[in-house]
Protein backbone atom coordinates (compact mmCIF):
# COMPACT_ATOMS: atom_id res chain seq x y z
CA UNK A 1 0.00 0.00 0.00
CA UNK A 2 1.48 3.34 -1.03
CA UNK A 3 1.61 6.41 1.18
CA UNK A 4 -0.86 8.19 -1.12
CA UNK A 5 -3.43 5.40 -0.72
CA UNK A 6 -2.99 5.48 3.05
CA UNK A 7 -3.59 9.23 3.01
CA UNK A 8 -6.76 8.87 0.91
CA UNK A 9 -8.11 6.15 3.21
CA UNK A 10 -7.38 8.11 6.39
CA UNK A 11 -8.94 11.37 5.20
CA UNK A 12 -12.62 10.24 5.54
CA UNK A 13 -11.89 9.19 9.13
CA UNK A 14 -10.29 12.55 9.83
CA UNK A 15 -13.26 14.31 8.21
CA UNK A 16 -15.70 12.30 10.35
CA UNK A 17 -13.72 13.14 13.50
CA UNK A 18 -13.68 16.81 12.51
CA UNK A 19 -17.43 16.85 11.88
CA UNK A 20 -18.08 15.22 15.25
CA UNK A 21 -15.82 17.71 16.95
CA UNK A 22 -17.55 20.61 15.18
CA UNK A 23 -20.98 19.28 16.14
CA UNK A 24 -19.99 18.97 19.79
CA UNK A 25 -18.27 22.37 19.73
CA UNK A 26 -21.45 24.11 18.59
CA UNK A 27 -23.01 23.64 22.05
CA UNK A 28 -19.93 24.65 24.01
CA UNK A 29 -18.71 28.02 25.20
CA UNK A 30 -15.16 28.65 24.09
CA UNK A 31 -12.63 30.48 26.16
CA UNK A 32 -9.52 31.97 24.55
CA UNK A 33 -6.95 29.15 24.28
CA UNK A 34 -3.87 29.44 26.48
CA UNK A 35 -0.52 30.35 25.03
CA UNK A 36 1.04 27.29 23.37
CA UNK A 37 3.95 25.71 25.24
CA UNK A 38 7.42 25.46 23.84
CA UNK A 39 7.55 23.01 20.91
CA UNK A 40 8.11 19.45 22.05
CA UNK A 41 8.00 17.25 18.99
CA UNK A 42 6.75 13.69 19.27
CA UNK A 43 9.86 11.58 19.14
CA UNK A 44 11.87 14.58 18.01
CA UNK A 45 10.10 14.88 14.64
CA UNK A 46 6.66 16.37 13.88
CA UNK A 47 6.25 13.78 11.13
CA UNK A 48 5.66 11.22 13.89
CA UNK A 49 2.44 12.93 14.99
CA UNK A 50 -0.97 13.40 13.40
CA UNK A 51 -0.80 17.18 13.06
CA UNK A 52 -4.15 18.91 12.59
CA UNK A 53 -4.13 22.54 11.50
CA UNK A 54 -5.12 25.20 14.00
CA UNK A 55 -7.24 28.11 12.76
CA UNK A 56 -6.68 30.41 15.75
CA UNK A 57 -3.69 31.68 17.66
CA UNK A 58 -3.17 33.87 20.73
CA UNK A 59 -0.08 35.36 19.10
CA UNK A 60 0.39 36.94 15.66
CA UNK A 61 2.12 35.08 12.81
CA UNK A 62 5.76 35.95 12.01
CA UNK A 63 6.68 38.42 9.26
CA UNK A 64 6.74 37.20 5.67
CA UNK A 65 10.16 35.93 4.58
CA UNK A 66 12.00 37.24 1.54
CA UNK A 67 12.36 34.64 -1.21
CA UNK A 68 12.69 34.29 -4.99
CA UNK A 69 9.79 33.13 -7.12
CA UNK A 70 10.63 30.10 -9.30
CA UNK A 71 9.71 30.31 -12.99
CA UNK A 72 6.28 29.16 -14.13
CA UNK A 73 6.53 25.53 -15.30
CA UNK A 74 3.93 25.81 -18.08
CA UNK A 75 0.75 27.50 -19.27
CA UNK A 76 -2.30 27.39 -17.02
CA UNK A 77 -0.38 27.53 -13.74
CA UNK A 78 -1.18 30.30 -11.23
CA UNK A 79 1.08 31.47 -8.45
CA UNK A 80 -0.12 30.64 -4.92
CA UNK A 81 2.01 32.68 -2.47
CA UNK A 82 3.53 31.12 0.62
CA UNK A 83 2.07 31.82 4.06
CA UNK A 84 2.42 30.92 7.74
CA UNK A 85 0.15 28.07 8.83
CA UNK A 86 -0.14 26.66 12.34
CA UNK A 87 -0.59 23.40 14.18
CA UNK A 88 -0.15 22.54 17.83
CA UNK A 89 3.64 22.84 17.49
CA UNK A 90 3.46 26.45 16.30
CA UNK A 91 3.74 28.37 13.04
CA UNK A 92 5.30 26.73 9.98
CA UNK A 93 5.89 28.09 6.49
CA UNK A 94 3.85 26.69 3.59
CA UNK A 95 6.02 27.32 0.51
CA UNK A 96 4.77 29.34 -2.42
CA UNK A 97 4.03 27.21 -5.48
CA UNK A 98 2.75 27.24 -9.03
CA UNK A 99 -0.59 25.43 -9.00
CA UNK A 100 -2.59 24.30 -12.01
CA UNK A 101 -5.90 26.17 -12.01
CA UNK A 102 -8.83 23.82 -11.30
CA UNK A 103 -10.75 25.32 -14.23
CA UNK A 104 -10.33 28.02 -16.87
CA UNK A 105 -11.00 31.45 -15.39
CA UNK A 106 -10.17 30.46 -11.81
CA UNK A 107 -8.21 32.97 -9.71
CA UNK A 108 -6.70 32.34 -6.30
CA UNK A 109 -7.59 34.43 -3.25
CA UNK A 110 -4.86 33.85 -0.61
CA UNK A 111 -5.77 33.11 2.98
CA UNK A 112 -4.79 35.43 5.80
CA UNK A 113 -4.69 35.75 9.59
CA UNK A 114 -7.04 38.36 11.07
CA UNK A 115 -7.26 39.79 14.59
CA UNK A 116 -10.74 39.31 16.14
CA UNK A 117 -11.62 39.72 19.85
CA UNK A 118 -8.11 39.18 21.12
CA UNK A 119 -7.30 36.19 18.88
CA UNK A 120 -5.73 35.76 15.44
CA UNK A 121 -8.12 33.71 13.25
CA UNK A 122 -7.20 32.03 9.97
CA UNK A 123 -9.33 32.85 6.92
CA UNK A 124 -8.76 30.12 4.34
CA UNK A 125 -8.01 30.90 0.70
CA UNK A 126 -10.21 29.80 -2.20
CA UNK A 127 -10.53 29.64 -6.00
CA UNK A 128 -13.10 31.83 -7.70
CA UNK A 129 -13.82 33.97 -10.75
CA UNK A 130 -12.52 37.09 -8.99
CA UNK A 131 -9.93 37.78 -6.31
CA UNK A 132 -11.53 38.60 -2.98
CA UNK A 133 -10.28 40.19 0.22
CA UNK A 134 -7.08 38.72 1.68
CA UNK A 135 -6.43 41.18 4.49
CA UNK A 136 -4.61 43.80 2.43
CA UNK A 137 -1.40 41.78 2.91
CA UNK A 138 1.33 42.28 0.31
CA UNK A 139 2.34 38.69 -0.44
CA UNK A 140 4.35 39.87 -3.45
CA UNK A 141 4.57 38.57 -7.03
CA UNK A 142 1.35 40.33 -8.08
CA UNK A 143 -0.52 39.99 -4.77
CA UNK A 144 -0.07 43.61 -3.68
CA UNK A 145 -2.82 43.56 -1.04
CA UNK A 146 -5.62 44.41 -3.46
CA UNK A 147 -6.50 42.04 -6.31
CA UNK A 148 -3.92 40.24 -8.45
CA UNK A 149 -1.64 42.02 -10.93
CA UNK A 150 0.30 38.92 -12.06
CA UNK A 151 -1.91 38.06 -15.05
CA UNK A 152 -5.42 37.60 -16.42
CA UNK A 153 -7.57 35.06 -18.22
CA UNK A 154 -8.54 35.53 -21.85
CA UNK A 155 -11.01 32.81 -22.75
CA UNK A 156 -9.18 29.58 -21.84
CA UNK A 157 -5.67 31.06 -21.85
CA UNK A 158 -3.90 32.75 -18.96
CA UNK A 159 -1.59 35.65 -19.81
CA UNK A 160 1.32 36.37 -17.45
CA UNK A 161 2.65 39.82 -16.49
CA UNK A 162 6.42 39.51 -16.75
CA UNK A 163 6.86 42.72 -14.71
CA UNK A 164 5.91 40.90 -11.48
CA UNK A 165 6.02 37.23 -12.48
CA UNK A 166 8.99 34.99 -13.18
CA UNK A 167 8.19 33.48 -16.60
CA UNK A 168 10.45 31.59 -18.98
CA UNK A 169 9.19 32.47 -22.46
CA UNK A 170 10.62 29.20 -23.73
CA UNK A 171 7.89 27.33 -21.89
CA UNK A 172 5.25 30.09 -21.55
CA UNK A 173 4.37 32.26 -24.53
CA UNK A 174 1.27 34.12 -23.29
CA UNK A 175 3.04 37.05 -21.69
CA UNK A 176 2.86 40.84 -21.47
CA UNK A 177 4.60 43.63 -19.51
CA UNK A 178 2.78 46.06 -17.25
CA UNK A 179 4.53 47.81 -14.38
CA UNK A 180 2.79 47.65 -11.01
CA UNK A 181 3.17 50.54 -8.58
CA UNK A 182 2.59 49.74 -4.90
CA UNK A 183 1.84 52.78 -2.75
CA UNK A 184 2.63 52.97 0.97
CA UNK A 185 4.97 49.98 1.04
CA UNK A 186 5.24 48.49 4.54
CA UNK A 187 8.81 47.26 5.01
CA UNK A 188 7.84 45.30 8.13
CA UNK A 189 6.39 42.53 5.88
CA UNK A 190 3.41 42.11 8.22
CA UNK A 191 1.56 38.86 7.58
CA UNK A 192 -1.74 39.53 9.37
CA UNK A 193 -4.69 41.93 9.30
CA UNK A 194 -5.93 44.08 12.19
CA UNK A 195 -4.71 44.09 15.74
CA UNK A 196 -2.27 46.52 17.31
CA UNK A 197 0.34 46.34 14.51
CA UNK A 198 -1.42 44.57 11.62
CA UNK A 199 -2.61 45.82 8.25
CA UNK A 200 -5.43 48.33 8.76
CA UNK A 201 -7.57 48.17 5.61
CA UNK A 202 -11.20 47.30 5.01
CA UNK A 203 -12.54 45.31 2.09
CA UNK A 204 -13.77 47.40 -0.84
CA UNK A 205 -17.06 46.68 -2.67
CA UNK A 206 -15.34 44.53 -5.32
CA UNK A 207 -13.76 42.30 -2.71
CA UNK A 208 -17.04 42.05 -0.81
CA UNK A 209 -18.81 41.03 -4.04
CA UNK A 210 -16.14 38.38 -4.73
CA UNK A 211 -16.69 36.94 -1.26
CA UNK A 212 -20.30 36.06 -2.16
CA UNK A 213 -19.40 34.27 -5.41
CA UNK A 214 -19.13 30.53 -5.87
CA UNK A 215 -15.79 29.27 -4.57
CA UNK A 216 -13.69 26.13 -4.88
CA UNK A 217 -11.41 24.88 -2.07
CA UNK A 218 -7.64 24.39 -2.42
CA UNK A 219 -6.59 21.64 -4.78
CA UNK A 220 -5.11 18.33 -3.73
CA UNK A 221 -1.64 19.58 -4.66
CA UNK A 222 -2.06 22.59 -2.36
CA UNK A 223 -3.16 20.37 0.50
CA UNK A 224 -0.15 18.18 -0.14
CA UNK A 225 2.18 21.18 0.16
CA UNK A 226 0.57 22.08 3.50
CA UNK A 227 0.84 18.50 4.74
CA UNK A 228 4.48 18.20 3.70
CA UNK A 229 5.40 21.52 5.31
CA UNK A 230 3.65 20.57 8.57
CA UNK A 231 5.66 17.33 8.66
CA UNK A 232 8.98 19.10 8.09
CA UNK A 233 10.51 20.34 11.31
CA UNK A 234 12.81 22.74 9.46
CA UNK A 235 9.79 24.69 8.18
CA UNK A 236 8.73 25.70 11.70
CA UNK A 237 9.44 29.23 12.86
CA UNK A 238 11.02 28.06 16.11
CA UNK A 239 13.66 26.29 13.99
CA UNK A 240 14.27 28.68 11.06
CA UNK A 241 13.54 32.00 12.83
CA UNK A 242 11.67 33.34 9.81
CA UNK A 243 14.03 31.94 7.14
CA UNK A 244 12.46 28.66 5.99
CA UNK A 245 14.78 26.41 3.98
CA UNK A 246 12.02 25.75 1.43
CA UNK A 247 10.34 29.10 0.84
CA UNK A 248 8.93 28.01 -2.54
CA UNK A 249 8.42 24.83 -4.53
CA UNK A 250 10.89 24.38 -7.37
CA UNK A 251 8.91 23.13 -10.39
CA UNK A 252 10.77 21.41 -13.18
CA UNK A 253 9.72 22.84 -16.55
CA UNK A 254 8.18 20.14 -18.69
CA UNK A 255 7.59 22.11 -21.86
CA UNK A 256 3.90 21.19 -21.93
CA UNK A 257 0.78 21.77 -19.87
CA UNK A 258 0.58 19.38 -16.87
CA UNK A 259 -1.67 16.43 -17.57
CA UNK A 260 -0.87 16.39 -21.26
CA UNK A 261 1.12 13.17 -20.82
CA UNK A 262 -2.16 11.43 -20.07
CA UNK A 263 -3.58 12.28 -23.46
CA UNK A 264 -3.24 9.75 -26.31
CA UNK A 265 -0.32 10.44 -28.56
CA UNK A 266 1.56 12.63 -26.05
CA UNK A 267 3.43 9.89 -24.24
CA UNK A 268 7.08 8.95 -24.65
CA UNK A 269 6.12 6.39 -27.34
CA UNK A 270 4.51 9.01 -29.58
CA UNK A 271 5.18 8.16 -33.20
CA UNK A 272 5.65 4.47 -32.37
CA UNK A 273 2.01 3.57 -31.96
CA UNK A 274 2.13 3.69 -28.19
CA UNK A 275 3.57 0.18 -27.97
CA UNK A 276 6.82 -1.15 -26.53
CA UNK A 277 8.26 -2.64 -29.71
CA UNK A 278 11.47 -4.53 -29.87
CA UNK A 279 14.32 -2.79 -31.54
CA UNK A 280 13.56 -4.62 -34.72
CA UNK A 281 9.83 -3.79 -34.58
CA UNK A 282 8.73 -7.33 -33.72
CA UNK A 283 5.41 -8.29 -32.18
CA UNK A 284 4.69 -8.24 -28.43
CA UNK A 285 3.46 -11.82 -28.22
CA UNK A 286 6.98 -13.06 -27.52
CA UNK A 287 7.48 -14.73 -30.92
CA UNK A 288 10.98 -14.15 -32.25
CA UNK A 289 11.39 -11.71 -35.01
CA UNK A 290 12.57 -13.00 -38.29
CA UNK A 291 14.95 -10.50 -39.82
CA UNK A 292 14.99 -10.18 -43.54
CA UNK A 293 11.64 -11.84 -43.95
CA UNK A 294 8.88 -9.46 -45.03
CA UNK A 295 5.54 -9.74 -43.26
CA UNK A 296 2.46 -10.53 -45.27
CA UNK A 297 -0.33 -7.92 -45.57
CA UNK A 298 -2.56 -10.10 -43.40
CA UNK A 299 -0.01 -10.12 -40.59
CA UNK A 300 0.48 -6.37 -40.94
CA UNK A 301 -3.30 -5.89 -40.79
CA UNK A 302 -3.45 -8.03 -37.65
CA UNK A 303 -0.61 -6.00 -36.15
CA UNK A 304 -2.44 -2.75 -36.94
CA UNK A 305 -5.68 -4.12 -35.47
CA UNK A 306 -3.86 -5.36 -32.38
CA UNK A 307 -2.16 -1.96 -32.12
CA UNK A 308 -5.51 -0.19 -32.37
CA UNK A 309 -7.00 -2.47 -29.71
CA UNK A 310 -4.02 -1.76 -27.46
CA UNK A 311 -4.43 1.97 -28.03
CA UNK A 312 -8.14 1.75 -27.31
CA UNK A 313 -7.47 -0.26 -24.16
CA UNK A 314 -4.80 2.24 -23.14
CA UNK A 315 -7.18 5.12 -23.78
CA UNK A 316 -9.89 3.32 -21.83
CA UNK A 317 -7.51 2.79 -18.90
CA UNK A 318 -6.40 6.41 -19.06
CA UNK A 319 -10.03 7.57 -19.21
CA UNK A 320 -10.84 5.33 -16.27
CA UNK A 321 -7.89 6.75 -14.35
CA UNK A 322 -9.00 10.27 -15.19
CA UNK A 323 -12.54 9.43 -14.11
CA UNK A 324 -11.24 7.95 -10.88
CA UNK A 325 -9.04 10.97 -10.31
CA UNK A 326 -11.98 13.29 -11.01
CA UNK A 327 -14.15 11.19 -8.72
CA UNK A 328 -11.54 11.41 -5.97
CA UNK A 329 -11.22 15.14 -6.58
CA UNK A 330 -15.01 15.53 -6.36
CA UNK A 331 -15.13 13.41 -3.22
CA UNK A 332 -12.28 15.36 -1.72
CA UNK A 333 -14.01 18.54 -2.82
CA UNK A 334 -17.18 17.39 -1.10
CA UNK A 335 -15.24 16.50 2.05
CA UNK A 336 -13.48 19.84 1.93
CA UNK A 337 -16.80 21.58 1.40
CA UNK A 338 -18.24 19.64 4.33
CA UNK A 339 -15.28 20.60 6.47
CA UNK A 340 -15.53 24.16 5.19
CA UNK A 341 -19.23 24.24 6.04
CA UNK A 342 -18.48 22.74 9.45
CA UNK A 343 -15.80 25.37 10.03
CA UNK A 344 -18.12 28.10 8.79
CA UNK A 345 -20.88 26.77 11.06
CA UNK A 346 -18.41 26.67 13.91
CA UNK A 347 -17.31 30.20 13.08
CA UNK A 348 -20.95 31.31 12.94
CA UNK A 349 -21.62 29.62 16.28
CA UNK A 350 -18.53 31.22 17.72
CA UNK A 351 -19.56 34.56 16.22
CA UNK A 352 -23.03 34.15 17.74
CA UNK A 353 -21.47 33.12 21.04
CA UNK A 354 -19.16 36.11 20.88
CA UNK A 355 -22.13 38.31 19.93
CA UNK A 356 -24.05 36.97 22.94
CA UNK A 357 -21.05 37.48 25.16
CA UNK A 358 -20.62 40.96 23.71
CA UNK A 359 -24.31 41.61 24.30
CA UNK A 360 -23.95 40.38 27.87
CA UNK A 361 -20.90 42.57 28.31
CA UNK A 362 -22.82 45.50 26.81
CA UNK A 363 -25.74 44.79 29.15
CA UNK A 364 -23.36 44.53 32.09
CA UNK A 365 -21.72 47.77 31.03
CA UNK A 366 -25.16 49.35 30.57
CA UNK A 367 -26.19 48.16 34.02
CA UNK A 368 -22.88 49.38 35.41
CA UNK A 369 -23.44 52.76 33.72
CA UNK A 370 -27.01 52.89 35.07
CA UNK A 371 -25.78 51.92 38.55
CA UNK A 372 -23.08 54.53 38.23
CA UNK A 373 -25.69 57.09 37.16
CA UNK A 374 -27.87 56.09 40.13
CA UNK A 375 -24.87 56.33 42.43
CA UNK A 376 -24.03 59.70 40.95
CA UNK A 377 -27.67 60.82 41.38
CA UNK A 378 -27.63 59.62 44.99
CA UNK A 379 -24.27 61.28 45.50
CA UNK A 380 -25.61 64.49 44.00
CA UNK A 381 -28.74 64.17 46.15
CA UNK A 382 -26.58 63.69 49.26
CA UNK A 383 -24.40 66.59 48.24
CA UNK A 384 -27.50 68.72 47.59
CA UNK A 385 -28.87 67.65 50.96
CA UNK A 386 -25.58 68.54 52.58
CA UNK A 387 -25.59 71.88 50.77
CA UNK A 388 -29.19 72.47 51.90
CA UNK A 389 -28.25 71.54 55.46
CA UNK A 390 -25.22 73.78 55.25
CA UNK A 391 -27.39 76.60 53.91
CA UNK A 392 -29.96 75.91 56.62
CA UNK A 393 -27.26 75.98 59.26
CA UNK A 394 -25.86 79.12 57.67
CA UNK A 395 -29.31 80.74 57.78
CA UNK A 396 -29.78 79.63 61.37
CA UNK A 397 -26.33 80.89 62.27
CA UNK A 398 -27.15 84.12 60.46
CA UNK A 399 -30.40 84.36 62.38
CA UNK A 400 -28.55 83.69 65.64
CA UNK A 401 -25.97 86.27 64.67
CA UNK A 402 -28.75 88.71 63.83
CA UNK A 403 -30.47 87.94 67.14
CA UNK A 404 -27.21 88.39 68.99
CA UNK A 405 -26.59 91.56 67.04
CA UNK A 406 -30.05 92.79 67.87
CA UNK A 407 -29.52 91.75 71.52
CA UNK A 408 -26.22 93.60 71.57
CA UNK A 409 -27.85 96.60 69.93
CA UNK A 410 -30.74 96.41 72.42
CA UNK A 411 -28.26 96.04 75.22
CA UNK A 412 -26.39 99.02 73.88
CA UNK A 413 -29.63 100.95 73.63
CA UNK A 414 -30.53 99.89 77.16
CA UNK A 415 -27.12 100.88 78.36
CA UNK A 416 -27.45 104.18 76.55
CA UNK A 417 -30.88 104.73 78.10
CA UNK A 418 -29.50 103.67 81.49
CA UNK A 419 -26.65 106.05 81.05
CA UNK A 420 -29.09 108.72 79.89
CA UNK A 421 -31.23 108.10 82.96
CA UNK A 422 -28.20 108.11 85.18
CA UNK A 423 -27.01 111.29 83.52
CA UNK A 424 -30.47 112.73 83.94
CA UNK A 425 -30.46 111.69 87.55
CA UNK A 426 -27.03 113.22 87.98
CA UNK A 427 -28.25 116.32 86.20
CA UNK A 428 -31.35 116.37 88.39
CA UNK A 429 -29.20 115.87 91.46
CA UNK A 430 -26.88 118.58 90.34
CA UNK A 431 -29.94 120.73 89.60
CA UNK A 432 -31.26 119.99 93.02
CA UNK A 433 -27.87 120.70 94.48
CA UNK A 434 -27.71 123.95 92.61
CA UNK A 435 -31.27 124.75 93.66
CA UNK A 436 -30.45 123.79 97.23
CA UNK A 437 -27.34 125.80 96.97
CA UNK A 438 -29.36 128.67 95.58
CA UNK A 439 -31.84 128.28 98.36
CA UNK A 440 -29.03 128.10 100.84
CA UNK A 441 -27.50 131.15 99.28
CA UNK A 442 -30.89 132.90 99.33
CA UNK A 443 -31.33 131.91 102.95
CA UNK A 444 -27.79 132.97 103.63
CA UNK A 445 -28.50 136.24 101.91
CA UNK A 446 -31.77 136.51 103.76
CA UNK A 447 -30.02 135.84 107.03
CA UNK A 448 -27.35 138.25 106.07
CA UNK A 449 -30.00 140.76 105.09
CA UNK A 450 -31.84 140.05 108.32
CA UNK A 451 -28.61 140.47 110.17
CA UNK A 452 -28.01 143.70 108.35
CA UNK A 453 -31.56 144.73 109.08
CA UNK A 454 -31.15 143.82 112.73
CA UNK A 455 -27.85 145.63 112.75
CA UNK A 456 -29.49 148.61 111.21
CA UNK A 457 -32.33 148.26 113.66
CA UNK A 458 -29.95 148.05 116.49
CA UNK A 459 -28.06 150.94 115.06
CA UNK A 460 -31.22 152.95 114.85
CA UNK A 461 -32.14 151.90 118.26
CA UNK A 462 -28.76 152.84 119.55
CA UNK A 463 -29.04 156.07 117.70
CA UNK A 464 -32.38 156.61 119.18
CA UNK A 465 -31.03 155.77 122.55
CA UNK A 466 -28.27 158.19 122.05
CA UNK A 467 -30.64 160.76 120.82
CA UNK A 468 -33.14 160.27 123.66
CA UNK A 469 -31.20 161.81 126.58
CA UNK A 470 -30.58 164.80 124.56
CA UNK A 471 -34.07 165.26 124.01
CA UNK A 472 -35.04 165.15 127.68
CA UNK A 473 -33.00 168.21 128.66
CA UNK A 474 -34.30 170.23 125.88
CA UNK A 475 -37.79 169.45 126.80
CA UNK A 476 -37.50 170.64 130.23
CA UNK A 477 -36.64 174.12 129.28
CA UNK A 478 -39.50 174.87 127.20
CA UNK A 479 -41.85 173.39 129.69
CA UNK A 480 -40.46 175.68 132.43
CA UNK A 481 -41.16 178.60 130.36
CA UNK A 482 -44.71 177.70 130.15
| pLDDT above 90 for 63 | yes
Q: Would residue 350 count as lying in a domain?
A: no
pLDDT at 71: 94
Same domain assignment for residues 86 and 221: yes
The residue out of 213, 235, 260 marking a domain boundary is 260
Q: In this structure, what are the phi and psi dihedrals at residue 105, rounded to the nearest 5 degrees?
A: 95, -5
Cβ-contact 275, 307 below 8 angstroms:
yes
pLDDT at 119: 94
Query: What is the tens place of the pLDDT at every residue in 140-153?
Result: 999 999 999 999 99
pLDDT at 421: 85
Q: Would residue 266 count as lying in a domain?
A: no
CB atoms near residue 251 (< 10 Å): 16
Span 393-420, mean pLDDT? Answer: 88
Domain count, the chain: 2
Q: How far is CA 128 from CA 21, 72, 76, 79, in A?
A: 29, 21, 15, 14
Half-sphere exposure of 84 (CA within 13 A, CB side): 29
Query: What is the tens place of the pLDDT at every residue in 107-157?
Result: 999 999 999 999 999 999 999 999 999 999 999 999 999 999 999 999 999
Angle at 57 between CA 51 and CA 60, to 5 degrees: 120
pLDDT at 142: 95
pTM score, whole prediction: 0.47
Same domain assignment for residues 123 and 241: yes
Please provide the average confidence, as pLDDT, over all residues in the chain. Answer: 78
Cβ-contact 135, 112 below 8 angstroms:
yes
The residue out of 260, 283, 306 marking a domain boundary is 260
The residue out of 214, 233, 260 marking a domain boundary is 260
The model's confidence at residue 32, banded by pLDDT at 50, 70 and 90, is very low
Q: Would residue 208 count as lying in a domain?
A: yes
Span 227-241, mean pLDDT? Answer: 94
Q: How far is CA 442 from CA 229, 300, 439, 449, 452, in A?
A: 150, 200, 5, 10, 14
Span 69-88, mean pLDDT? Answer: 94
Give the list of residues 6+ apart from residue 222 with CB closer than 8 angstroms, or none: 80, 97, 99
For the chain, percent of residues with pLDDT exceeding 70: 75
Same domain assignment for residues 61 and 196: yes
Same domain assignment for residues 240 and 368: no
Give the list of residues 6+ apart from residue 437 with CB closer than 8 angstroms, or none: none
Q: Would residue 433 count as lying in a domain?
A: yes
Q: Would residue 175 count as lying in a domain?
A: yes
Among left, alpha and beta (phi > 0; psi -120 to 50; other), residue 295 is beta
Q: Minimal CA–CA distance to 90: which of 30, 32, 38?
A: 38
pLDDT at 146: 93
Q: Would residue 324 count as lying in a domain?
A: no
| pLDDT above 50 for 4 | no
Q: Would residue 476 count as lying in a domain?
A: no
Same domain assignment for residues 75 and 196: yes
Among 144-158, 189-203, 256-270, 366-380, the minimum mean pLDDT is found in 256-270
Which domain range does residue 374 map to? 361-453
Span 332-360, mean pLDDT? Answer: 78
Same domain assignment for residues 66 and 189: yes
Looking at the DSSP bridge assignments, the partners of residue 216 are 127
Q: Would residue 326 count as lying in a domain?
A: no
Amino acid sequence: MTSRSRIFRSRPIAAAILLAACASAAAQTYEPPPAPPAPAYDGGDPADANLALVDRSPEPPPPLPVYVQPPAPSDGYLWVPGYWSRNRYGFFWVPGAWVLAPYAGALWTPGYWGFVNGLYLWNAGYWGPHVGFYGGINYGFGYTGLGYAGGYWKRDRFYYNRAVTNVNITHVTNVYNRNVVVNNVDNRRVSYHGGPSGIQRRADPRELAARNERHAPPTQAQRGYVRDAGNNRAQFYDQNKGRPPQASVDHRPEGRRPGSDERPGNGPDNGRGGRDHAQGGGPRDGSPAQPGRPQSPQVQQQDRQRQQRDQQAQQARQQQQRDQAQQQVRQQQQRDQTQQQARQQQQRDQAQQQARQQQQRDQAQQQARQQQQRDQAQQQARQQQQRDQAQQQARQQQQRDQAQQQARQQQQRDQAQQQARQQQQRDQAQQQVRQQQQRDQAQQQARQQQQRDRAQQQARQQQQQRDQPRGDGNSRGPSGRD
